[in-house]
Amino acid sequence: MTVRALAFDAYGTLFDVHSVVEAINAHFPDKGPELSEIWRVKQLEYTWLVTLMDRYQPMWALTRASLTYAMKRLDLAPDESVIDTLMQRYLNLQPYPEVVEALRALRGRHRAIFSNGNPEMLKPVVQNGGLASVLDDLISVEPVRVFKPSQRAYRYAEQQLGVPAEQVLFVSSNAFDVAGAKAFGFQVAWINRAHGQLEELGIQPDHVVSTLSGIAELLD
C-alpha cells in the first residue's frame, strides 16, 4: 500500500479518555469508572446531535455539558468548581503507554492528529502528554463546524493533508470513526485495544491491530 500521510484520531486512540477516573474518585469515591463511561458516551452523542441539528458547538463546550449530564445522571451535585477541576484533567489525559515510541518509529512520514477536539483543548493535551515532538500536524474539525463521521470532516482533513484520500492511513480505536473514514475513502487501521466490535454496516477497516505499535509494523 502507498501511504504518504498518517492521520490519528486523538481521544481513545492516542489518549486514554478514562485516565480521568482517579481524579473523579477523589471527589466521588468509587464513582470514577461509571461516571467516566457515561461522560464519554454522552460526549460522543452530543457531537452527533449538534452536527445533525446544524448547531455546532466546540467539543470543549460539549465535553463540559456531557460531564454535567453524567453527574446529574448519577445524582451527584454538579458543583461548578468540581466540574472545572475535572475539565482541567481533560487537558492532561494520559497517552496510552506505547504511543510516544510508536509515533517516533513513524518519523519520516507525515504524522497528524485529526480530531473532533477544538484547538484550544488539543494543543494542551498534546503538549502535556509529551506528543508535540512526535507529531507534524494538528487538524481539528472546528473550521468546518461539523464532527466526524460527517464526510465533510474527512474531506477537510484530506485537503489539509494535501494527499489523496487513498494515500492516507487513518488510525482510530473508535468504531464509528473507522466506518466514517473508510466510507470516505481513507485507508483505515482499527486499533482494537478493548476487544471491541465493529459497526454492522458492511464497512471493514483495511487493518486491525491491538496497539499503535502495530502501525509501524504494517508499514514496514
First to last CA, the chain: 11
- Any catalytic annotation for residue 9? yes
Chain centroid offset of residue 75 CA: 28
Q: Which residue(s) pair with 20 in the sheet? A: none
What does each C-alpha distance from 168 to 5, 111, 112, 188, 195 come to in angstroms? 5, 10, 10, 8, 25
**Exactly one of 9, 30, 84, 206 is catalytic; which is it?**
9
Residue 84 backbone phi and psi in degrees, to 5: -60, -45
Active site residues: 9
